[in-house]
Amino acid sequence: MTDTVTVLPATATTTVQPRRWGLIRHSLLLAARSLLKTRRNPGILFDALFLPIVFLLMFVYLFGGAVAGSTRDYLQYVFPGLLVMATIMAGLLATGVSLSIDVKKGVFDRFRSLPIGRSVPLLGSVLGDMIRYLVTLTVMFGLGYLLGFRVRTGLLSALAACGLAVLLGFCMSWMNVLVGVLIRETTIVQTVGFLGIFPLAFGTSMVAPVNTLPGWLQAWVKINPVSHAIDATRGLLLGGPVAGPVVRTVLWSAAFLIVFAPLAVAAYRRRT
């Protein structure tokens, strides 16, 4: 007797559907991890908390009388610029240092073994640092109002000014993400971040009007992306030209993101 085995043709195939919105969901999960680290160690927010206080008190009471003749009048002038600078520095300096520490500790090696995109750890870390922007903005407006600063436009304009500062800070932070991935020493990452931010932050109309600056510095101020953000924020908070500076700030923000985010991801892939 011979057994006959009949092979039936396959009528269906099983396919694995890729998960939708995986990049966003995974990035938000790692951002939540960063927030959890912050909750367990709130001391890492000290610079975002005290930097605005130091800047505001120092600039207003050190330069107010000499530049504007009155600390109250100078507060109205300098506050929008300090708001932009403090917001940018809150994310720009901390993000690269945090990434450098995680890479050295091997945390990103564990991320590499997970079924997630290579850009997810970087994006999650940057999104997790958004809490620093919120702390900085809250401290700036709280102390500013105690010292006498007043918004002369309206609530929506003030919120737009905050959003513009956060947008530029978020996009510029990718420069330090690239530095944090490329450089192995955390102290060097921090030094490079400080050296990089000062020409951008202080080569502006933040401290004094542009027409009081030397010619070569005026030329730099006119093309400095942070200067455009300060002009836009000043217009949104105090009144004045807004459309042009806002458009230029958004375009510069997009340029920072388009250029440095892919470079940071590529450097991270090579390193890990």
Q: Is residue 212 part of a domain?
A: yes
Enter the DSSP assignment of 3. Answer: -
Tens of pLDDT, residues 62-119: 877 777 677 888 899 999 999 998 888 877 777 777 777 766 766 666 666 666 666 6
Q: Is residue 110 part of a domain?
A: yes
Q: Is residue 161 part of a domain?
A: yes
Q: Domain residues for 43?
A: 23-271
Query: What DSSP assignment string belongs to 155-166?
Result: HHHHHHHHHHHH
Q: Is residue 10 part of a domain?
A: no
Q: Is residue 15 part of a domain?
A: no
Helices (H), the chain: 22-40, 46-67, 71-105, 107-112, 120-128, 130-147, 155-182, 186-202, 215-223, 225-238, 243-271
Residue type, 250: V
Distance CA 240, CA 178 (A): 36
Are 125 and 99 in contact by the 8 Å Cβ rule? The answer is: yes
Instruction: Classify residue 33 by burial, with Cβ atoms within 10 Å: 0-12, 13-18, 19+.
Output: middle
Q: How many residues does the chain have?
A: 272
Rounded percentage of the chain residues whose pLDDT exceeds 70: 75
Q: Is residue 8 part of a domain?
A: no
Q: Is residue 16 part of a domain?
A: no
Q: Is residue 18 part of a domain?
A: no
Q: Tell me the pTM.
A: 0.80
For every one of its 272 residues, what pLDDT tens digit does the chain have, with 9 covering 90 and above?
444 544 444 444 434 344 556 667 766 776 676 666 666 666 566 777 788 888 898 888 887 777 767 788 889 999 999 999 888 887 777 777 777 776 676 666 666 666 666 667 777 777 877 788 888 899 999 999 999 999 999 999 999 999 999 999 889 888 888 888 887 777 777 777 777 777 777 778 787 778 877 888 888 888 889 999 999 999 999 988 899 999 999 999 999 999 998 998 888 777 66
**How many structural domains is the chain composed of?**
1
Q: Give Dmax (Cα) for the chain.
A: 112
